[in-house]
Chains A and B, each alone.
Chain A
Amino acid sequence: MAFAAFGSNNSSKPSKPTKTGKVVIALLAPGLAYLGAFFLTPLIALIMVSLQIPDPAGGYAEYVPALEIGNYGYVIAEYLPHILRSFAYALAATVLALLISYPLAYFIGVKARPWPMLQKLMLTLVIAPFFISFLLRTLAWKQLFSNESWIVTTLQDSGLLDQTQYVVGTPFMVIFGLTYNFIPFMTLPLYTSLERLDIRYLEAGSDLYASPAKVFRKVTLPLSMPGIISGTLLTFIPIAGDYVNASGDFLGSSSTAMIGNVIESNYLQINDYPSASALSVLLMGVILVLVSVYVRKSGTEDLL
């Protein structure tokens, strides 16, 4: 799996330098040219559009090239709550996914080692949600927590919820959905690093009279750090830009709209391309800064 490979930090060193030159260019050029044309230049296009202004002579949704830095000030002022909400939801869902995934990955990667077939079966179960459409899974949760559902009526009857309170449309529901949808991205890299954990280190720790909690904190946790880093990155980044879970047709409502929802509606519905592009550039910029700080702080730069 790609995630397994992503989670591993055995940086593949060139095994042996053989002849370079034409062969390398022939191997690299097509793919890199493709990324240049359809990944890099679109980013430049995005930055250009983010600086455009409405065409003074034109009609609705017509823009002319400009260098209007003010677009950024405008979107920050206008959509600050959405921006903050996105990162708050992403942080909450990432932490929850980590807390849910860690014991599971530990069980599969460490405890289930004597039974390789069981390990494989459980890994298949972890990735099973990937095989059913992301949108259908999310809608399933919406139905399970819908206003007339057994779960909600039970919560209302037991007094945990008011008779007028519902679950769908609340921040809780959105964070719940985000957590659920991205758990496999967390569990797989955690599994890859825990699977390689040498049990003798843990035994050495307890032989030296460390309490189980201390062994976990001083041995297991640091050794599984690469998995934690890649897992949190693989969940945090897509969650920050997600707009399906928070959408009003899925688990959210207008009060849970995230930055992705704003970009989508500005771009595809009201055709305000400059604002949508400025928000996209901001989102990417903030994520790149956060990721590089995070990776540097945790001292796992070789991971990338």
Chain B
Amino acid sequence: MRFSLGKLALPLYAVIAFIYLLIPILYTFVFSFNDSLKTNLIWRGFTFDKWTNVCQREGVCEAFTNSVFIGLISTIVATALGTAIAIALVRYRFKFRSSINLLLFLPMATPEVVLGAGLASQFFNLGVQKGIWTIIIAHIMFCLSFVVVTVKARVASLDPALEEAGRDLYANPRQVFWKITFPLLLPGISAAALLSFALSFDDFIITNFNAGADMTFPRYVYTAAARGVPAEANVIGCAVFLLAIFIVLATQINSEVKRKRLAKKH
């Protein structure tokens, strides 16, 4: 392949592919500076107003705050539950292993409408009023499996000898966990936490089935789409994007610096 295509074809293709991937992001950014009125369809001139007065548009900031709250609670619970399962799956041998793996895989293999409608039916049968807490219950459910998968990879790469050394030096199980296992797992746990926050924050389909009257940011955008989404929604989307990219780049640079430092030592 690499002889016939020529040396430039593949890099050129990659550049085009990245442009294609980034076009909607760029569009959203540009139109966050649009001096628009109610809708944000036509370019009417450049302004910083939407960025500085983002909360002036009714409902945008409330929806955003709700999404952050839901994301934080769901992430904390899903990460705690999922990490425990991941540790058990890698470190211990027990019966029903494969059925547990199947139970963890199924939520990831189920379309979101099915998860959403199923949970909504359950709340309906039980007569539970839908709202923020039913959204949180739903988000913990679908984040859990992703946490297990992410943390499991990290646990599997962990050398059990390190924990044994701790035990040999008379550390009690709690000390072994908090002084050895947990710090070593931390990169995996934080990756899982970031992933579940991102999944929760951007979820629309499952949320829509279980939200009742409460708004989240994606629900706000979906409802507004019928009339035209205001530029303030673009501002929120772009701000979240910048923050996420910053976190990813910072972690990458940090790990690269660490790697170089380690390489120098040896």
Contacts and interface: CB of A to CB of B under 8 A. Distances in A.
B147 to A, nearest CB: 8
A277 interface: yes
B233 A31 contact: no
B156 interface: yes
B94 interface: yes
A4 B222 CA distance: 30
Nearest to B17: A104
B172 interface: no
A131 B244 contact: yes
B73 interface: no
Interface string B225-236: 110010001100
A246 to B, nearest CB: 12
B27 A12 contact: no
Contact of B109 (A122, A134, A138, A237): A237
B121 A49 contact: yes
A260 B94 CA distance: 39
A45 B88 CA distance: 29
A133 B122 contact: no
B40 to A, nearest CB: 8
B76 to A, nearest CB: 13
A38 B210 CA distance: 12
A72 interface: no
A100 B195 CA distance: 25
Interface in A97-155: 100, 103-104, 106-108, 111, 116-117, 120, 122, 124-141, 143-144, 146
B125 A49 contact: yes
Contact of B82 (A31, A111, A134, A273): A31
Interface in A1-23: 1-2, 4-6, 8, 10, 12, 14-18, 20, 23
Contacts of A27: 84-85, 87-88, 92
Nearest to A38: B141
A240 B84 CA distance: 32
A244 interface: yes
Contact of B218 (A28, A133, A180, A242): A133
A35 interface: yes
A191 to B, nearest CB: 12
Max chain B Cβ within 10 angstroms of own Cβ: one of A32, A132, A249 = A132
Max chain B Cβ within 10 angstroms of own Cβ: one of A27, A106, A136 = A136
Contact of A125 (B22, B101, B110): B22
Contact of B21 (A35, A116, A183, A238): A183
Interface of A: 1-2, 4-6, 8, 10, 12, 14-18, 20, 23-24, 26-28, 30-32, 34-35, 38-43, 45-46, 48-49, 100, 103-104, 106-108, 111, 116-117, 120, 122, 124-141, 143-144, 146, 180, 183-184, 206, 212-213, 215-216, 220, 233, 237-238, 240-244, 249-250, 259-260, 263-264, 267-268, 273, 276-277, 280-281, 283-284, 287-288, 291, 304
